[in-house]
Amino acid sequence: MIVGTPTLRILFVGNRILPYRHAGDKTYWLEAFRELTRRGHEIDVISLTDEPIPERSPYPCEFVPPVRFDVDRSERFNQEYRWLRASGNYVAKTMSYGRVLSAIRRHVRVRRPHVVHFLTNYGPVMAVTRSFTMGVPISISAPTYNGWRFVYDWALRASFAGFDRVVPFSGAFARRLVALGMRPRRIRTIPWAVDPGEFHPATEGERAEARRSLGVAEGQKVIFWSGFLQQMLPRDLLFAIRTAERMLRDGPNEWRFFFCMKPEHYRRSFAQYERPGIEIGGTVEGFRHARTAADAMLSPIGDLRSTAAPPLTWIECMSSGIPVLTTPLPGAEELVQDGVGGILAATPELLAERASALLRDPARLAGVRREARAQVERGFSLSSSVDAYTHLWAEMASWSSGK
């Protein structure tokens, strides 16, 4: 417990808040819940969840079944996992929100939390939320901005209208909110983070074993891609494929690219992009081997109208000493400093050229790997992130307590 921070009771609300690692934002919160509990705070969770939960939750959690509405034609999910698409789109979220509000009202009456914090944005329907929290202050996380979508700005403003505090994960998103008319005092930028003690550079023995498992020849560099992260779309996969193809054209025997997807995203049709030097898979084991063996992470996001959170996987990789090769979308530079902890380049050709130069220079690569980890230790540690949230919630709790 930080001196001066009172014991807090916080109600968290969101989609698929599960008791195990499965998605970037929820993985962060899983670790944050553990840290909050370790510090003596009390947490309760309401999770809109459309799947069986094989593990017992380590914290009190009410799982609320969502309304399914398969209007989303997103290519992110394969047929086997189409139920994720049917319950995670904004139409389904809007239709399910009445169930969420009923659960919130019950919890507030019984538990009387100091703060209700939302991990998920359910859209403009959230404007009615305050009527169900009985005076308890409310805050919401805001990971990324995707302004290319139709009426997105209007919907974003409407969804945040009733909240006391909005917590963007990047300064770039905070500036965008101000540009959209939100008062700066309502905004508190807090990046998500990792525990550097958990995500540390692999030993040479661990890397050698992972390379053997992957069949990587001596002297070849390993570059891995992981997706789909946050706002990533299929076109971002193609951007990465073109980058890999360009590097292989100039050095066919220098590189091995491993494109790693979650089971819900993998499609057999992705095999069309495989060729010598490029492999695409959808297993957890393959991802772990590729990340352990990696010399760099390739993770471009092509639409520069969006903002980067930045993705939690970037932070995990950089904490492990793996530089990130990405595009200069707003927010990316807050974690990946160009030429220091990774590479920022706007086209596949330029990214391939600069990545090749970095990976061919052992001394420079070693320095970039060290600096990548140092950047996480300086500004993206779990302890510092939880400190910032508890200070925010303590401030909000004082409003209703009259302090």
Is 71 a residue whose pLDDT tops 70? Answer: no
Q: Quick: pLDDT tens for 175-200.
A: 999 999 999 999 999 999 999 999 99
Q: Which CATH class is domain 9-193+381-401?
A: alpha beta
Q: Quick: pLDDT tens for 86-116.
A: 566 778 888 899 999 999 999 999 999 999 9
Contact 175, 296 (CB under 8 A): no
Mean pLDDT of 390-403: 84
What per-residue confidence (pLDDT) applies to 264? 74
Residue of higher predicted confidence among 391 and 56? 391
Single-letter residue type at 109: R
Domain ranges in the chain with CATH number 3.40.50.2000? 9-193+381-401, 204-379
Q: Quick: pLDDT tens for 123-156.
A: 999 999 999 999 999 999 999 888 766 788 999 9
Determine the Cα–Cα distance for residues 246 and 150; give it in Å rounded to an integer: 34
Choosing among 3.40.50.720, 3.40.50.2000, 3.50.50.60, 2.30.42.10, the CATH entry for 204-379 is 3.40.50.2000
Residue 1's pLDDT band, with cuts at 50, 70 and 90, is: very low
What per-residue confidence (pLDDT) applies to 87? 63
Torsion of the alpha carbons at 354, 358, 361 and 362, rounded to the nearest 10: -170
Q: The pTM is what?
A: 0.91
Residue 79's pLDDT band, with cuts at 50, 70 and 90, is: low
Q: What is the DSSP string of 212-264?
A: HHHTPPTT-EEEEEEE--TT--HHHHHHHHHHHHHHHHH-TTTEEEEEEE-TT
Mean pLDDT of 240-256: 97
Q: Quick: pLDDT tens for 282-299.
A: 888 999 999 999 999 999
Question: In whole angstroms, how far apart are CA 208 and each of 58, 181, 205, 211, 359?
Answer: 36, 52, 5, 5, 18
Mean pLDDT of 208-225: 97
